[in-house]
Amino acid sequence: AQSVAQPEDQVNVAEGNPLTVKCTYSVSGNPYLFWYVQYPNRGLQFLLKYITGDNLVKGSYGFEAEFNKSQTSFHLKKPSALVSDSALYFCAVRPYDMRFGAGTRLTVKP
């Protein structure tokens, strides 16, 4: 069965600094990997995905993620964090049903 792990419950960064939110996965076969963001009292919003092709994928709001097959990782990154990026971030894996990680709360301080 597939699973994802988000090893950090909380990530704190200063505005303008780069941010990384970590995700590792376990799946049989080729993984489909996703990042979602959730703002308070809002639904889950899709950020980006890796299905095939270039290991570096770019998504919404300046976010990107790098698929690393040897390390089974799919870390989310942004070169310069904004206060408005503060939210809950979830990594997810497929190829069959979709399983989510426990989430990482990102706080960007001014």
Partner 1 sequence: DTGVSQDPRHKITKRGQNVTFRCDPISEHNRLYWYRQTLGQGPEFLTYFQNEAQLEKSRLLSDRFSAERPKGSFSTLEIQRTEQGDSAMYLCASSSDMTEAFFGQGTRLTVV
Give contact residues for partner 1 (rule: CB under 8 A): 6, 34, 43-44, 46, 49, 51, 88, 90, 92, 96-103, 105
3-class SS string, the chain? CCEEECCCCEEEEECCCCEEECCEEECCCCCEEEEEEECCCCCEEEEEEECCCCCEEECHHHCEEEEECCCCEEEEEECCCCHHHCEEEEEEEECCCCEECCCEEEEEEC
The distance of closest approach from Cβ of residue 90 to partner 1 in the complex, given in angstroms and rounded to an integer, is 5
The distance of closest approach from Cβ of residue 96 to partner 1 in the complex, given in angstroms and rounded to an integer, is 7
In the complex with partner 1, the residue whose CB is nearer, 39 or 80, is: 39
The distance of closest approach from Cβ of residue 32 to partner 1 in the complex, given in angstroms and rounded to an integer, is 8
In the complex with partner 1, the residue whose CB is nearer, 43 or 110, is: 43
